[in-house]
Amino acid sequence: MKKEFHHIGIPTSEPRPNEIYLESIQLYITDATQSPHRIEWTRAEPDCPFPEVLKTTAHVAYSVDNLEEAIAGHEVIWAPFEPLPGIRCAFILDDGAPVEFLEFAK
């Protein structure tokens, strides 16, 4: 399975320039591809359904060619979903640290 670093996600409580609102999960994100160091800022609304660890702890994200294969055998804390058209992602815990896997439509 191909796995390549994509970004680091850092929770914040402060609005950031050019945020993207993900209405389905009540979360604001920035576009990590626009950051020279691949930082994605995340800001959860009070009713965001994410587990607390995703709202308060930085995560590392990898681009993968098969999302189901990437999460197999791991503790999945957020099942695969499509936050934006053409992108599927899921989160696991690795020794207590959140990890995101992203699969881009081909």
Q: What is the pLDDT of residue 1?
A: 83
- Structural domain of residue 8, as residue ranges? 3-104
Q: What is the pLDDT of residue 81?
A: 96
Q: What's the CATH number where 91 sits? A: 3.10.180.10
Is pLDDT at 106 greater than 90 in this prediction?
no
Output the average pLDDT for the chain.
Answer: 97
Q: What is the pLDDT of residue 85?
A: 94
Count how many domains the chain has.
1
Residues of the chain above pLDDT 70, percent: 100
DSSP-derived 3-state class of residue 95 = coil
Q: Where are the beta strands (DSSP E) in the chain?
A: 3-11, 20-22, 27-29, 39-44, 59-64, 75-84, 87-94, 97-104
